Structure 1
Amino acid sequence: MLTPTTSPENLAAVFKAYDVRGTVPEQLDEDLARAAGAAYVEELGATALVIGYDMRPSSPGLAGAFADGATAAGADVTMIGLASTDQLYFASGHLELPGAMFTASHNPAQYNGIKMCRAFAQPVGLESGLAAIRDRIARGGSVAAGRTGSITSYDVLQAYAVHLLKLAPVAGRRLKVVVDAGNGMAGHTAPAVFDRLVGQVDVVPMYFDLDGTFPHHEANPIDPANLVDLQKRVVAEQADIGLAFDGDADRCFIVDERGRAVSPSTLTALIAARELAKEPGATVIHNLITSRAVPEIVREHGGTPVRTRVGHSFIKATMAETDAIFGGEHSGHFYFRDFWRADSGMLAALHALAALAEADVPLSELMATYERYPLSGEINSTVADQAAVLAAIEERYGRMDGVTIDHLDGLSVAHADWAFNVRASNTEPLLRLNAEGKDEPTMGKIRDDVLAIIRGAL
């Protein structure tokens, strides 16, 4: 029997491009989680799966309900308990099981969500099973399993830490590192990882207490306001680097020794160069919003850059098609072939630490090699009629000489001296603008001109 949260109308609202996300309990409750668990098992034909959850107050109950639905459909469930999203991906690969992670990532405290994957962390997006799971829930009906599955617990945290350090060992000069967990799941994973680097890395912890109400700041490092505490602390501690993680710790941003935020595009270029040194000629994925410096640097290091849409399911699918060694996004997501093509904020952080420990220069100088064009960062605007605004922007810039336009994901406009992308969020009612230019004045002008259209000033 359908409930308010399992109605077709609500399902259409909460099933996004690559996950399920909504407010609790209005849009996502245990009824929906239980139905999703059963539908997931039936659609994937899963006989066993692994489940993890973040520190949000609603997460344990939702994860338990999902497990009940899955076992009612005949699957055995392995619960790994509190976990970062990349820890769940590790469990999926390590245990060779499909999985579900309960988290709303960087969204505010009233939200929660479900990220699902097949075995070996293969993504489940709308086009690869999520829509079919949604439709199964909407049809209702009872589960007719021949058996009821079991639920067992398994701790993968230490194995996760060991695996990451094998992929990106940190050796060289000793580093002082400030880590802002934002009261999210990095407060759970960072100690396990950095305890294995005693004598190599001195950690200054910030906001490691797990608290899904986010009492200090939102766990969303793409918003500059949420980096302020970290930036001040790095300077005050005279640290070598600062690390900021989002709520489920699958994203990482870094701050240099001067307290300056480093663009994820710049970190993408650094990691790409490191991975290409291990496998010359390999393919590297970058989404269409990363700086044009990324494909330039990939080519300079002998690699093949491939441009793709924003979002982990699209990145992972393209990585599988091209056998890419690495992929990076402007939002701080970094994907690794050696990590089952999944994204890991902690693994990206370890690459940054490894590169810095090997260098005899400060982080600002190290990253200057990979930072070529000023970037606006992501600027969000609430817009009533997104399609009309996008059409107005295309009308304005489509008439200009030397401009190319494409619609791979939203609206991308490129010129020799500047470029920008405007796209609708997959999880929130926003238009997102990212712009860059050959220099700061050029970037500032194109950013302000496009924002004027978006916000109705023209």
Structure 2
Amino acid sequence: MAPKFGTSGLRGLVTELTPDLVTGYVRAFLAACPTGGGLQVGRDLRESSPAIAAIVAEAARGAGVPVTECGVLPTPALALAAQRAGQAAVMVTGSHIPADRNGLKFYVPAGEISKAEEQAIQGALGTGAPDADRAPLVEDAGAGDAFRDRYVTAYGGGALRGLRIGVYQHSSVARDMLVEVLGALGAEPVPLGRSDSFVPVDTEALDPATRGMLAGWCADHRLDAVVSTDGDADRPMVADASGRVVPGDILGALTSRALGAGTICTPISSNSMVVDLFGPEAVHLTRIGSPYVIAAMEAALADDPAARVVGYEANGGFLLGFPAEGPAGTLEPLMTRDCVLPIVAPLAAAVAEGRTLAQLVAALPPRFTAADRIQNVPSEASAAFIARLADDAAARAAFFEAGAPERDTDLTDGLRVSFDTGAVVHLRPSGNAPECRIYAEADSPEAAEALVATHFARLAEALRGA
């Protein structure tokens, strides 16, 4: 796969992320976007990340931009450090994709780059920031600590008291920080599954073996929950005491409610029960991808600067657009995907209400989602097949099987088909990997999972047989 630039920055095979290519994109970013006079650089735990981070730093220093090396830390921790410094940032990470791939995520001082800034960077390739006097490099080992302290200050030492929480550490950059945060909030953390090699955990599409492992841990260690993140820790994973994973969009809705949000921005793929929970006037549905969620949040804040705006994605990454009050203090806004807040807020709400996490989830409006992905298929092939379905009602009738006639279609992002039973099946090419995503929604978990399984098999046959 040739390196690709889009919503999640630059991604590609490590062998193709050459020094010249990485330098070219960093120089284009520095030329096309505001930097605040400096660049913060962080990285994940992939074997290839230190060398790529060094190339990023040298490219910026050679363009006369001072670099702050933040080391290994979560992507949202780097974003917070850059926000507080008023500087740009580059995170070296491939997120959840396999270890033979890596990438760069770009941040301007205000946060994640926008779609317009993506285009500006592409336009500046080959004509990027010129050589200049080599700028200095400094190290900041405290950026991760500042991120950790954000939650401890806001939630206090008793927010999670009485909970025994497993931490699936694998190769997440947040694996030690999560243990520290949970312990500081009063829980008893139990570290589990630490790995010396990179594990490509996709929190949105956990395989059956991983789900079984979580359930086994809960039983063996008498846990109240298990938590984890993807590789760069901008997406959460939370399972209840039985090991059942709470979907990211449910975590998002629970976190929104716990924070007292008044405006919720979330992609079209998120569980529609959020509309029942907050009302249609409070919910703004977007295309999939944090830039679209951020654009909706910014529009809401432009209309009302005092609006209590939040955003979240179906993968659980949570964006805070206002100063929110926790049980012990204030959380400053952070409009980039965060994994820690949607882990802590629902668990703290359960403790405060005297409920288990499963009871908290069960009290929500009864709509259920499931998701999976077909890997190693070109995005172009997925897009072409989905476009054919979108244009041909007969082709849709032959492909989809939901036990009822089609009610309507939504082309906001990919093809989302609703059926007379209320079931939904949504197909979408990934914007950052050679994958095709399948989402489903129904009135029971079993029905949603069955819809995904049925259409996974059909889509795999169609794409791989093309």
Q: How many Å separate the matches in 1 of 2:355 and 2:427? A: 36
Is 1:454 aligned with 2:459? yes
Is 1:304 aligned with 2:293? no
Cα distance change of structure 1 residues 68 and 440 upon mapping to structure 2, 3 Å threshold: closer
Measure how far apart 1:401 and its partner are: 6.2
- Tell me, what secondary structure is at the counterpart of 2:95? coil
Is 1:136 aligned with 2:140? no
Q: How many Å separate the matches in 2 of 1:37 and 1:444? A: 42
* AA aligned opposite 1:202: E
Answer yes or no: is the 8 Å Cα contact 1:291–1:373 preserved in 2: yes
* AA aligned opposite 1:347: L
The TM-score with structure 2 as length reference comes to 0.85
Instruction: Provide Cα deviations, 1:29-71, integer angstroms capped at 9, x if missing partner.
Output: 3332223332222222432121111111221121111111111
Corresponding residue of 1:414? 418
* AA aligned opposite 1:352: P
Cα distance change of structure 1 residues 257 and 407 upon mapping to structure 2, 3 Å threshold: same
Corresponding residue of 1:82? 72
Is 1:389 aligned with 2:385? yes
Measure how far apart 1:440 and its partner are: 5.5
Instruction: Provide Cα deviations, 1:266-307, integer angstroms capped at 9, x if missing partner.
Output: 21221121122xx5xx2111111111112211229xx70110
Corresponding residue of 2:150? 163
Answer yes or no: is the 8 Å Cα contact 1:269–1:370 preserved in 2: no
Is 1:354 aligned with 2:348? yes
* AA aligned opposite 2:168: D
Structure 1: stretches of 5+ with no match in the other structure? 1-8
Corresponding residue of 1:4? none
Is 1:183 aligned with 2:171? yes
Cα distance change of structure 1 residues 109 and 271 upon mapping to structure 2, 3 Å threshold: same
Structure 2: stretches of 5+ with no match in the other structure? 302-307, 322-331, 398-403
Cα distance change of structure 1 residues 453 and 191 upon mapping to structure 2, 3 Å threshold: closer
Q: How many Å separate the matches in 1 of 2:389 and 2:24? A: 42
Measure how far apart 1:450 and its partner are: 3.9
Q: How many Å separate the matches in 1 of 2:41 and 2:393? A: 48
* AA aligned opposite 2:382: Q
* AA aligned opposite 2:187: V
Match of 1:368 among 362, 377, 382: 362
Corresponding residue of 1:220? 202
Measure how far apart 1:144 and its partner are: 4.1
- Tell me, what secondary structure is at the counterpart of 1:223? coil
The TM-score with structure 1 as length reference comes to 0.86
Answer yes or no: is the 8 Å Cα contact 1:381–1:454 preserved in 2: no
Measure how far apart 1:455 and its partner are: 3.4
Q: Give percent identity, aligned residues only.
A: 23
CA RMSD of aligned residues (A): 2.6
Match of 1:15 among 5, 15, 19: 5
Q: How many Å separate the matches in 1 of 2:79 and 2:92? A: 12
Corresponding residue of 1:5? none
Measure how far apart 1:368 and its partner are: 0.6
Measure how far apart 1:220 and its partner are: 2.1
* AA aligned opposite 2:438: L
Instruction: Provide Cα deviations, 1:146-198, integer angstroms capped at 9, x if missing partner.
Output: x332111112222211112334445264110001122220224224423423x
Corresponding residue of 2:228? 244
Corresponding residue of 2:134? 148
Match of 1:287 among 252, 267, 271: 267
Is 1:202 aligned with 2:188? yes
* AA aligned opposite 2:136: S
Cα distance change of structure 1 residues 73 and 388 upon mapping to structure 2, 3 Å threshold: closer
- Tell me, what secondary structure is at the counterpart of 1:243? strand
Answer yes or no: is the 8 Å Cα contact 1:181–1:246 preserved in 2: no
Q: How many Å separate the matches in 2 of 1:285 and 1:101? A: 25
Answer yes or no: is the 8 Å Cα contact 2:28–2:127 preserved in 1: no
- Say which is worse superposed, 248-257 or 401-410, in terms of deviation: 401-410
Answer yes or no: is the 8 Å Cα contact 2:211–2:243 preserved in 1: no
Q: How many Å separate the matches in 1 of 2:345 and 2:40? A: 27
Q: How many Å separate the matches in 1 of 2:72 and 2:270? A: 32
Q: How many Å separate the matches in 1 of 2:257 and 2:299? A: 21
- Tell me, what secondary structure is at the counterpart of 1:203? strand
Corresponding residue of 2:326? none
Measure how far apart 1:20 and its partner are: 0.6
